[in-house]
Each structure stands twice: as structure tokens, then as C-alpha cells.
Amino acid sequence: MASTKDYLDYVLDLLREVPGVHYRKMMGEYLLYRDNVLFGGVYDDRFLVKDSVALEEYGFRKQIPYPGAKPMLLVDLEDAGEMKNLVEKLITGK
């Protein structure tokens, strides 16, 4: 099942405080980048980010974005400021 543009718009709104965020559509899904660094995506209307030790404190559940892929973390935050912190931790590893 492909992700909807409406859900992508919702995720992009949550990421509004993160500078340099952009996306690329790929096979019905959306890959998310910050300054050309891939950090996550929208898969089947789920916002998933790369698994990282830096994000352990959030306690996100792991999910598979598509068959054969490595597990990613399902993001369930709704605060734009916290989302900015999350992406920064993911990109820098701190």
C-alpha cells in the first residue's frame, strides 16, 4: 500500500522546525532527508526513522518498512520542537 500525500504533509508539518528537510518519492513511499542525509521516511502511512542508539531514550517500537528491509523506529511524537531534537540526535548521533 502506498502512502498518502496527506500523511506526508502531516509529517512535514511536524518537521517544520527542522531546517533543510526535504523528501523524495520512491515507489509510492517518501524518503525524508535533512541537508541530503537520509534519516527516515513515510511507509504505508507510518513515520519511520533509522534505528539509532541515540534514540533509545524515546522507547520507539521497531517496525519493518517493507519486506526484506532492516527494522526502523516508529515515531509517535506530535511536538514539532521535540521532533527537531529527535532529528538532530539522529543526524549527529548525540
- The tally of domains found in the chain comes to 1
Residue 50 has which C-alpha cell? 533509522
- CATH code of 73's domain: 3.30.1460.30
Q: Given a cut of 90, is residue 61 above it in pLDDT?
A: yes
Q: What is the mean pLDDT of the segment spanning 51-78?
A: 95
Confidence band, pLDDT 50/70/90 cuts, at residue 94: confident
0.85 exceeded by the pTM? yes
Sheet holding 62-63, edge to edge: 21-26, 29-34, 37-43, 46-50, 72-74, 62-63
pLDDT band at 29 (very low <50, low <70, confident <90, very high): very high
Residue with cell 517500537: 61
Which residue type sits at 61? R
Beta bridge partners of 26: 29
Domain that holds residue 80: 5-92
